[in-house]
Structures are given as C-alpha cells and as structure tokens.
Amino acid sequence: MHTDLTQGAIKTHIRALAIPASVGFFFHTMFNVTDTWFAGTISTQALAALSLSFPIFFLIISVAGGMAEGITALVGNALGEGRPDAARHIALNALAFGGLLAALLTFAGNLAAPLLMESLGAEGAYLHEAVGYISIIILGTLFFVFTFFINAMLNAMGDMVSFRNVLTFSAFLNIVLDYWFIKGGLGIRPMGVEGIALATVIIEALSLLYLWYRLARTPLFSELPPFRYDGAVIRELVAQGTPPSLNMALTAIGIYIITYFAAPFGKEVVAAYGIGMRIEQIMLMPAIGLNVAVLAIVAQNNGAERYDRVVEAVETALSNGVLLAILGGGVLMGASDVLMELFSDNRDVIAEGARYLRIEALIIYPFIMIFIYLAMLQGIKRPRFIFYISLIRQVIAPVAVLALLAFLGQGVLAIWLGIASIVAAAALVTRWFARRCMEELRHRHGLVRLEE
C-alpha cells in the first residue's frame, strides 16, 4: 500500500490516517490499562511497582519511537520527491541501525534499572517486584525497536491500518496472557507481575512478525536493491530521529521526576499517578492519531514542495483538536472517580487519581497543540526545537517548580497544578515557534507560485 498524500483533499487524508491510527493507539493504551488492572488484582504494591518501572520502559520506547519518527520523515520526503529507490535505500540502512540501537538499549537498561529503582526509594519485596518486571521487558528491546521502525516505513506510505490491526489483536491477546501468566495453569507457574512483562514481550514479537509481513508486500520492499551501508543516511537518520527520541526520553525522565517528588507522599499517590497517566493516555489517543497523520502528510508534501498543503494539514488538525479536547476533557472532569474505581478499590488511590484527572482535563488542548506542531516540525525536517521545548517542559521546569513547592511544604495538589501550568506554557511557546515556520512556508509557496 502506498497512498500519495500530495494529491487529494487534506480533510479526507486526515480522517483516513488519523482514525485508524487513533483506534490502534487506543487499543495500545488498553493494552497498558489491562496490565494496570491485572496488577491491581495482585496488590497495591504491584501497582506501584508497575508505576515505578514505567519511566524505564518508556525510555526504551521513546528512543525507538523517536528514531522511527525520523524514518517516517526521511522515507516520506523521499517518496514525495518521487525517489522510491532512495526511500528503499534509507529503509535498509534504518533496519541495520535498528539492530545496533536495540543492543545498546538492552545493555544500558540492564545496567541502570536496579539503580534507578533504588533511587526512587524501592527496597525489599517492592524493589524485587519492580526489577523483576522491568528485567523481562528489557530482554524484549529488539522486538520493540524493529516494530517501531517497520511501522514507521508503513506510516510513510500512508498505511496506518496495519498497526491498527496488530494493536487491536494484541490488546485482546494481552487479556488472555496476563490472566494465564499471573494465575498460572497448563504447565505455567503463577508469575505475578513478571507474567505481565512476559506477556508483553511475547505479543511484541508476534506484532513484529505481522508488520514485517505487511511491509514485505509493499512497493517499498518489493524490489529491494542490494544493501549498501551509507554513513550519510545513518547520520541524517540520527539527526532527524534524535530530537523526537530525546523528546520522548525526556518524557520518561519527566515521569521519573514527578514520581520522585510524589513518592514521599506514599505508595497510594504513586499508584494513583500511574493509573491516572494511563486513563489520560486514553483521552489523548485521537490527538496521537492526528500527530501521526500530520507527520505523514507533511513529510510527503514537504518533499513535493506543496507547502500550501503543509499549512492546510496543520490548520485542519488543530480545528479537529478543539472538538477532541472538549469531549475528552468533559469525560475526565465528569467521570474521574468512576474511571479510577475500575483499577483500584483503595479509597486513597481513587481520590488522588480523580483529583489528578480533573486537573489534566484542563490541559488536553495544550497537549494536542504540542503534538500537532511538533509533527509538523518533524515533517519539514526542522526537529531541533522538539528537543529544546521538551528539555524545558519535561526536566528544567518540573525540577525547578516541584523543588520550590517541596521547599515550601506544598502538597500533592500543588504538584499536579504545577505540571499542568508547565504544559500550558509549553504549548504557547511551541505554537509561537511553529507558526513562525508556517509563515516561512507560506512565503516560500508564494515565491513558487510567482515563478510558475
């Protein structure tokens, strides 16, 4: 499948790409929600162990996912320029780079995981559960990296359906495997939270096989040239992929920072934060769909020098984002307690998680703005700003604000409000910079039209 996104109505392309992407990421989030629910059936400590492990797990995902965005941008631009052979060459070098990246992440993860857990105050059985879970996840790093990379190539060709299919199937299979591995039976001993991790790795391996099958049937891989290592391509991939990787990695560090400042208030607060994040992710799924759609559309049209369509794609996505923010925010504001009760019967966890969700309801549109504008910057090959804004939003500002709040003796509510304020401010800065870039594109398009 290869959809030419340089032709046809932008609104149609947005719907055709964003809807399957949103559905897929919804089921991906439900995958994580399932893990959270089953961990809650074990104990509050198991829930907290998953929350404690999440920054490390997310760090692996963020590096792979960020580099994948670079692949989508490069392959999409090459296709938009009408150079399919160049797109194939980029894809082959990206796969070679993926093997090296997976090895490095596996080594670093095994080395750092226990130290990071202990730095968050985990000890005894709590530490054992958290390390047991994340150690199995780290062993599956190769599967995570190649799943992201192969899907990035499919996205560059306008195929969001394959990932939707595999994520939908995975969500249902995860329910079966989580139950089986946690409870035991049919020759499997009860494994607790380690069973949740093993189910994740097995499903990721199956996902990789399916996506590879889909990619092999596309024009991109139907007539592959002989592999030729190209250092220039690798360097460009790293240049394009590093800012979004750091953006996502800094998100993991940001989660770590928030967890660090929340941990002194008890396991219940850590568990509430972990559950709240997953519920929030569900509400943001349509926004992530818009992000993926905008990246694919912008990449191809930037390569084709159709700058008017780049601007139209961003503005259309932002308009759709307003409605999504109203709907998602309304659900979080009105049903936060009910949503928390699905994952825990601990009244303290429910109350704190509901309070967190009501605050997050107010910043859904700022999140949407960030997602859309950063996708545009990635698609036009101007990703450096992504790193700078993420460094400020995820690390510098949270450390400064939360340390000040801790010094002043403020409670958990102040933490949630402080983080929400940082997100809103970051959205305004991102909008300012991205719109400057959009004006440049309008100017360039005007020059092209004059020459014509």
**What span, in angstroms and rounded, lies between the C-alpha atoms of 142 and 150?**
12
Look at residue 1 and tell me if it is in a domain: no
**Mean pLDDT over residues 384-402, rounded?**
89
Q: Is the pLDDT of residue 447 over 60?
A: no
Look at residue 2 and tell me if it is in a domain: no
Instruction: State the pLDDT at residue 2.
Output: 58
Instruction: State the pLDDT at residue 1.
Output: 52
Q: How confident is the model at residue 3 (pLDDT cuts 50, 70, 90)?
A: low
Look at residue 255 and tell me if it is in a domain: yes
Look at residue 5 and tell me if it is in a domain: no
**Mean pLDDT over residues 52-79, rounded?**
80
> Would you say 419 and 397 are in contact if contact means Cβ atoms under 8 Å apart?
no
* Lowest mean pLDDT across 225-234, 243-252, 366-375, 437-446: 437-446
Instruction: State the pLDDT at residue 122.
Output: 61
Structural domain for 204, as ranges: 10-451
pTM here is 0.70
Look at residue 100 and tell me if it is in a domain: yes
Look at residue 173 and tell me if it is in a domain: yes
Look at residue 3 and tell me if it is in a domain: no
**pLDDT (tens digit per residue) in 190-227:** 677 778 888 889 999 999 999 999 888 887 777 777 77
**Mean pLDDT over residues 16-38, rounded?**
76
State the Cα torsion 77-80-81-84 to the nearest 10°. Answer: 90
The distance from CA 125 to its chain's CA centroid, rounded to whole angstroms, is: 30
Look at residue 364 and tell me if it is in a domain: yes
Instruction: State the pLDDT at residue 124.
Output: 67
Q: Is the pLDDT of residue 450 over 70?
A: no
Mean pLDDT of the chain: 82
Q: Is the pLDDT of residue 347 over 80?
A: yes
| Of 125 and 171, more confident | 171
**Token digits for 130?**
């958290």
Which amino acid, residue 383? Answer: P
| Of 342 and 211, more confident | 211
Instruction: State the pLDDT at residue 7.
Output: 77
Q: Is the pLDDT of residue 139 over 50?
A: yes
Q: Which of 221, 222, 218, 173 is nearest to 198 (CA)?
A: 173
**What span, in angstroms and rounded, lies between the C-alpha atoms of 335 and 282?**
13
Instruction: State the pLDDT at residue 253.
Output: 79
**Token digits for 62?**
């963020």
Say which DSSP state 380 is in: T
Instruction: State the pLDDT at residue 429.
Output: 94
Say which DSSP state 378 is in: H
> How many structural domains is the chain composed of?
1
